[in-house]
Amino acid sequence: MFPLQLLALTFISSLSLQDEEDEGERKEVMKEEVTESRYDLIFRRGDLLEVPRTLFTHFGIYLGGGRVAHFIPDILPLLSSDRYRIKQMVTNFRLLLGVIAKCGSVRVDHVDDFAFGAKILVNSTDKVCSCAALQGDAVAQRAERLQGDIAYSLLWWNCEHFVMFCRYGTAVSFQSFQFCKTVRKLLLSSGVAMVMVVLSPCLLLSGAAVSWSMVLLAALPPFLIWMAS
Ligand SMILES: *[C@@H]1O[C@H](CO)[C@@H](O)[C@H](O)[C@H]1NC(C)=O
């Protein structure tokens, strides 16, 4: 828990260093977009929205006016400063590269774009989380403050950490926790880690026929470590 909170703190302090003018521009954009929406009848400002996907669950905070703040991996902020292009819907390709490059952004999208046709669960983490939810408006304000491009980590700072921080004040991810538990069980039971560590340099040094598969095998552990950090 402690490293995560520390992470959340560094994350916030780095955000406050952002340009003032950037801030002004952002507020301007926000003002334009806020209109009444039929979703205001279903959701309340600060509600935690959850969309189950095939492999994982995506999370967001409802801001009102049919808008959702959510944290999504995205490579584009690294490559371009074109706000308009970044604002377009994130493709799977952008998302995947974002996960690998560990870059993402907290963005505001319409509920329909956020859910992408899937069923939306509301506040269901309230039952699982040991902390009480903050007041709705405070939750939404946190989410709004965190808008922008930030570092993404599949395990340590993902979409779930973002909403948990906004709604309960602690950045935890049950998905990451489950994932780590599964991986640890796997590693401990089969000794896979040991084999990888011993095998990959041997393969590379054996010289004779360094095939692509060997190179890949050797590159795997550092890649996994990068992804896990
Ligand atoms: C979500 O939880 C809040 C309390 O934190 C509650 O006021 C709100 O009505 C809930 N939303 C829905 C749609 O149940």
> Cα–Cα distance between 188 and 184 in angstroms, integer?
6
C-beta of residue 120 within 8 angstroms of C-beta of residue 111: yes
**pTM surpassing 0.85?**
no
| pLDDT mean across residues, the chain | 81
Catalytically annotated residue among 131, 159, 166, 180:
159
Is the predicted pLDDT of residue 4 greater than 60, yes or no?
Answer: no
- Distance in Å, CA 47 to ligand 1 centroid: 6
For residue 144, the model assigns a pLDDT of: 95
Residues 119 and 203 in one domain: no
Domain range for 34 is 2-177
> Cα–Cα distance between 98 and 90 in angstroms, integer?
10
Measured from the Cα of 48, ligand 1's closest atom is 1
C-beta of residue 160 within 8 angstroms of C-beta of residue 70: no
166 is catalytic: no
Q: What is the mean pLDDT of residues 191-218?
A: 71
Measured from the Cα of 123, ligand 1's closest atom is 1
Bridge partners of residue 62, in order along the sequence: 68
Residues 221 and 157 in one domain: no
- Distance in Å, CA 163 to ligand 1 centroid: 15
Residues 102 and 61 in one domain: yes
Residues 222 and 133 in one domain: no
134-143: per-residue pLDDT in tens?
999 999 999 9
100-123: per-residue pLDDT in tens?
999 999 999 999 999 988 999 999
